[in-house]
Amino acid sequence: MNAVDFLEYVNRTSAEHVVTESLKRIHASDLNAFVETFDDDALRRAKELDALPVGQRGRLHGLIVGVKDEVHIAGYVTGFGTRANDKPAKESSHIVRALEAAGAIMIGHTRMPEFGAWPVTESTYGGITRNPLDTRLSPGGSSGGTAAAVAGGLIPVGIGGDDGGSIRIPAAMTGLVGLKPRRGRVSTAPEPHLWWSLGVTGVLTKSVRDAALIYDVISGNEATDLYTADPMGSLVDALDNPPSSLKFMTVSHAPAMGIARTIRDGLAQTERKLAKCGYQKVPGPRFLPDATRAFVPQFFAGMRTEYAAVDHPELLESRTARVNSLGAWVSDDVRKKAEARGEVVAQKVDQLLDRVDVILTPTLAALPPRADVTRNKGAIRTALVARLYNAFTSLFNVTGHPAMTIPVQVDKAFPVGIQLVARNEETLVAVAQQIMGGKLR
């Protein structure tokens, strides 16, 4: 059930009823999608919402939401995918407060790899999280628990974070919609940043309309944010006003890397749908701009910042400690230079977007791996696995552009994710809605 249908179901039943149902599904599930559930608080919150007069209910009244284990919930430990924290958060994150103000109910913290470092969700502490489309496979990462919970029908909407593809990768592996907003569009408060300029917070949903609905609620900034952006228009309104003319380019190659045939077929199918909308394809470059020298120092800087902040670093995985050690060369000055390099790369992407409205790419270079693909592997071997899954995503964390993955079904094969990139979220959701079955112009 998608979020829009779920809200209608709440109106026919009650918030308490849907919370009780959701908790039963979660506790009976073998996907290992949740670190913990907030049973008592969720039920208490549901009863309070049910007592409100209809005229005082928010637009998300009774919507069940799972939040990644890096999102603060007041009174609960924010684990960041580890067992190394034991102090409850003093305040909830901006995104949680915004959702609750609109009537949503937080149901629990979802699984992630330690510090969100990897594109699969597996750890010594948390075990293996599984893909509901095929439990032998990974749901991706680092927002893998969120993806598994939404795709598995445990919850209608989940919150994730994206530092190098961590919303888009698991969305692509589980047949979901994942929208990474422009840097600074959604507050990271109370954290001033998430992995410096790389990280943003967002949602994983079953439909483009769901994503638009949630982003209209959570967008905005607070005074503590290190990065901010101009407010965006209503994404729900943008869905119903697709562009009458549009240019797009496709970039389907990554250096020294093959792309799975099914993914290429999904890309071609998407091009055909855009052509049916009357949109024009423009020749693009063979490869996207290289952001490695901007991304890697910030990756290490983000990991080292989180490593220094945990309550008990001695409880972290050995590969996490190894990454922290490998990043010792990243001083604050090195990190700032990497951000400056990122702005140069962003200008290169802007030059492509001067020619077209949307850039189309695969989200991933390969289909989902085994759920245990990184089990007992060290930092270097895990990083080699990661390369197949962030080759097309991490660039846009460096540049700060909004990017979105949508699922495309190719015959009876595993659904594949197609990534759309534009200057603004309004264009992304309008075009994505067209591709996923919106009325063709």
Active site residues: 68, 142, 166
Give the span between the Cα atoms of 411 and 89, in whole angstroms.
46
Dihedral angle at the C-alpha atoms of 323, 326, 332, 333, nearest 10 degrees? -140
Residue with tokens 């699969």: 120
Give the span between the Cα atoms of 338 and 302, in whole angstroms.
12
Give the span between the Cα atoms of 209 and 204, in whole angstroms.
12
Tokens of 433: 């809605």
Cβ contacts of 36 within 8 Å, gap of 6 or more: 76, 108, 109
By CB neighbour count within 10 A (0-12 exposed, 13-18 middle, 19+ buried), where does 340 fall?
exposed
By CB neighbour count within 10 A (0-12 exposed, 13-18 middle, 19+ buried), where does 314 fall?
exposed
**Cβ count near 253 (within 10 Å):** 18
Give the span between the Cα atoms of 393 and 387, in whole angstroms.
10
Cβ contacts of 19 within 8 Å, gap of 6 or more: 42, 43, 45, 46, 64, 105, 107
Cβ contacts of 336 within 8 Å, gap of 6 or more: none
Residue with tokens 């290289």: 290
Return the DSSP state at 111: P
* Conformational region of residue 440, where left means phi above 0, alpha means psi within -120 to 50, and beta covers everything else: beta
CB 374 within 8 A of CB 142: no
Sign of CA dihedral 310, 315, 317, 322: positive
**What number of CA atoms fall less than 13 Å from residue 279's CA on the CB side?**
28
CB 185 within 8 A of CB 402: yes
Return the DSSP state at 88: B
Residue type, 47: K
Residue 106: closest CA among 26, 172, 223, 162 = 26
